[in-house]
Structure 1
Amino acid sequence: MNQLGQLEAAINKGVQYLEQHQYPNGEFCCYIAADEPMQGWCITDSTVFATMVVASCLLPLNERPEVDAMITRATDYIAGQMHRGGVWPVFSERHPWHHMVPYDADSLAYASALLEARGVRCFEESNVPLLLANRSQQGLFYTWFILRPRWHTNRTHWRLAIKEISQPITSFFFWRANECTRADIDLGINTNIVYYLGETEQTRPVIVALIQTIAEGREGNCDKWYRNPYNMYYLLSRAYKRGVVSLEPVIQPIVERIVAGVQPDGRIGKSVLDTAFAISTLLNFGADVPPLTNAVSYLIAKQGEAGEWPRWLFYYGGPKLLQGWGSEELTTGFCLEALAGYRQKKQLLA
């Protein structure tokens, strides 16, 4: 079978796997683990965020009825998890940490962009003013919607922030037990906000900071959650593809770093997940480099019998890398997005 035939077969198997493993409520599985391959202790962790990500990865395949149905179930679930003001919790309503963790800008941006792509406008009010009220003096977006020593008139932000006052003990132990801080400004999360808001006067400071980060080679240490450089490359490339063309200066250094990470067997970086990130990044940037075909062959070869790709940590709990989150469903979503993009490229060239 030629590569295009293998590609189609791999996509079909991957779609079938996700279809069979999506929960009846629309959620996709996520685990928390301490090691990157997730082969040590590994516990199911119900996160709304994981479902947002998998559904977003499936958008390039939404012309398939079964994929469209999966995305609809996922977006129905996500819309049902939305809280007043157009915000989302990281963890689902059945998670013990559901009410403990403050609302975050990443979940808001990822969910809002996905729902808009599906033509869903379920926000009780626009959450864009909320985001804009949650910026530093330098114009970068804070990660958390919490109380700050800065005056603004956004009522939604005040209402969300006052949540801390209602549970002071819980709030104290949350900030004490975790690596995150109240002043966090994470550039991976800022990239996702730019993806949602687009290239505007308000997002210009973020774009400048991202270009500088890549120029200085700090992409592996610019965010407490997205600790993987290939993950950052992927996030930047999807923002560029969506129309944030001012990110063009990051293309050449990122492509060069991806090519430098190519292994003899076609793998890029350390894992299947890195390889999927790299393929999508190259495709989103329009970079036609020789390793692309071998990387796709590597992904196809690493697909499991049931249609899945192996789990690997997707995002982390902080710079110490003590724990992180991932699943076969997450890796499979990213692999399907990469293969769908490559198939589209081949079809356009045919």
Structure 2
Amino acid sequence: MKKPADATDRIASRAAEDSDFRARLVMNPKETIARDFGVTLDEDHEIHVHEETYSATHLVIPPHSKYSEAERKEAKAGATSLEFLRRTLHDPAPPMRPPAPERVRARKHAATPKALAKKGRESILRGLAFLESVVDESGAWHCIRFNIADPDIPRHFEKPPFISALCVLALESSDEARARALCDATRKYLVSTIEYPGLWRYYRHLPQDLDSTTVCSLVIGSHPWVFLGRNVPRILANRDDNGCFKTWMLEEDEPDVVSSFRIEADPVVNANVIAYLGDHPETRDAQRWLEALIIEDRLKDSSKWYPDTVTIYYATTRAMMCAEPALDSLRPILADRILDLGGGKGEFGNLLQTAQAVSALYNIDRLESIDVKRQVERIIGSQREDGSWPELLAFGDQSLRWGAFGQIGHGSESVTTAFCIEALERLVEALEA
């Protein structure tokens, strides 16, 4: 049972047919579910099973909101309050550091695969050491919010759950003990930010959204709300008339964001929903829509938040891995499109774009189509002495204008570093094969 869309129904159906399972489920629900379905559930969360009878009905009511009524009112008004927006940010961030000059590379292919794999492993460990120094004690990852068009506008740190989940999805590629420790700490942080029944939001003055909800759910699938699919009805209810998933979950008591925020179907968001829900009948319309966008080459301007085509390809291939056989028909065309981005030189764009392209090719079993040694050398050669890789635009709205905040972009050295580590893990694996 890897996907949540029908988890509760499957447990209930088995309990109806298997009296031994039913008895164990009532007596020891958490242990029974973990053993019989091969999952490790969040150890800090209890599960209680109540058996209804013909003379007793159980009514389950949701927990209180994490926020007081006053806080909810403030957040609802905060969508148009510059002062409230400032309070969602943290200490002013320092100016962006220039990229480290690439170190002189050895003669092409002079290093043996074994020697280069060793250098790649050392680079990964240095990157993890950097991340240990910047991920805060709670397990939250920091991103930087900046103005794309005007570098003189102050930059600020932010730490929405989405950023932490996005980076952990990349870092889960590593079996290094340091990587596992970072991921474990971040999972605990994400649990602390969850809202019933398994939803997340980017900022408190914004409504809950499917992008944050699905990437966070992918990371903490052991939480019972996620494993049992408590958030699935809300996700499925957030579709347009064509069956595609809308970004924002606008409810009556939620902040009503300005119209320019109300982008509806986004290819990356839909890919993330498919990754979470799996190859399920309820995701088939979204799958067909995403397939058509890619096959018909209509990705330009299709995403408001992810301006790079390679990012859409990366998210789509991740969905293919998580929700197999969903989107599998795209495998050959995605390989061709990604390789075309590299041109004859294998340069897929900046370092972040290259890292995502490498991982996307790995996801669809086409890593052998690129010069693995060249990519390892490029990524290693761009690493700073402190183990980081440079801050680059990861996502952002290049058209939005909010008073003094202007055109908003998001990225950080931590984000780039997580994706570079993922790419190096894939490349080193190929060198060691």
Calculate the TM-score normalised by the size of structure 2.
0.67
2:201 aligned residue (72, 80, 89) = 89
Residue matched to 2:181: 69
In structure 2, distance between residues paired with 1:245 and 1:38:
44
* 1:110 and 2:215 correspond: yes
Q: Which amino acid aligns with 1:138?
A: N
SS in 2 for 1:137: coil
* 1:274 and 2:353 correspond: yes
Residue matched to 2:172: 59
* 1:261 and 2:341 correspond: yes
Q: 1:38 to 1:78 in 2, by over 3 A?
A: farther
Question: Any unmatched runs of 5+ in structure 2?
Answer: 1-110, 402-406
SS in 2 for 1:83: coil
* 1:120 and 2:218 correspond: no
Q: Deviation digits for residues 100-122 of structure 1, max 9, x if unmatched? A: 20110111100111111xx3335
Q: Larger C-alpha radius of gyration, 1 or 2?
A: 2
Residue matched to 2:430: 345
Aligned 8 A contact 1:14 1:308 in 2: yes
Q: Which amino acid aligns with 1:163?
A: D
Displacement of 1:255 in angstroms is 2.3
Deviates more, 1:234-243 or 1:244-253: 244-253
Deviates more, 1:273-282 or 1:248-257: 248-257
Q: Which amino acid aligns with 2:316?
A: L
SS in 2 for 1:199: coil
Q: Deviation digits for residues 184-233 of structure 1, max 9, x if unmatched? A: 11121010000001111111111111111011222232221112101001
Aligned 8 A contact 2:144 2:410 in 1: yes
Q: 1:215 to 1:222 in 2, by over 3 A?
A: same
2:411 aligned residue (314, 326, 342) = 326
Map 1:15-34 to 2 at 5 A: 15-34=128-147
SS in 2 for 1:24: coil
SS in 2 for 1:202: helix
SS in 1 for 2:392: coil
Aligned 8 A contact 1:37 1:311 in 2: no
SS in 2 for 1:209: helix
1:210 aligned residue (290, 302, 306) = 290
Map 1:190-339 to 2 at 5 A: 190-262=270-342, 266-269=346-349, 271-287=350-366, 288-317=368-397, 319=399, 322-339=407-424
In structure 2, distance between residues paired with 1:308 and 1:220:
31
Q: Which amino acid aligns with 2:223?
A: V
Aligned 8 A contact 1:140 1:206 in 2: yes
Calculate the TM-score normalised by the size of structure 1.
0.83
In structure 2, distance between residues paired with 1:184 and 1:242:
23
1:7 aligned residue (103, 107, 120) = 120
Displacement of 1:263 in angstroms is 6.3
Deviates more, 1:63-72 or 1:206-215: 63-72
Deviates more, 1:82-91 or 1:328-337: 82-91
Residue matched to 2:192: 80
Question: Any unmatched runs of 5+ in structure 1?
Answer: 92-97, 147-160, 165-169
In structure 2, distance between residues paired with 1:261 and 1:125:
38
In structure 1, distance between residues paired with 2:192 and 2:216:
12
Aligned 8 A contact 1:211 1:250 in 2: yes
Q: Deviation digits for residues 150-180 of structure 1, max 9, x if unmatched? A: xxxxxxxxxxx1213xxxxx63xx315xx22
What do you get for the CA RMSD once the two structures are aligned?
2.4
Residue matched to 2:3: none
Displacement of 1:272 in angstroms is 0.4
Residue matched to 2:258: 175
In structure 2, distance between residues paired with 1:305 and 1:296:
17
Deviates more, 1:248-257 or 1:107-116: 248-257
Residue matched to 2:236: 132
Displacement of 1:42 in angstroms is 2.7
Q: Deviation digits for residues 295-328 of structure 1, max 9, x if unmatched? A: 2321111111111111111111255692211111
Q: 1:253 to 1:39 in 2, by over 3 A?
A: farther
Q: 1:254 to 1:39 in 2, by over 3 A?
A: farther
Aligned 8 A contact 1:266 1:298 in 2: no
Displacement of 1:28 in angstroms is 0.9
Aligned 8 A contact 2:277 2:323 in 1: no
In structure 2, distance between residues paired with 1:81 and 1:332:
24
Q: 1:341 to 1:246 in 2, by over 3 A?
A: same
Deviates more, 1:187-196 or 1:1-10: 1-10
Aligned 8 A contact 1:47 1:90 in 2: yes
Deviates more, 1:217-226 or 1:30-39: 30-39
Displacement of 1:291 in angstroms is 3.5
Give aligned pairs, total: 313
In structure 2, distance between residues paired with 1:40 and 1:279:
33
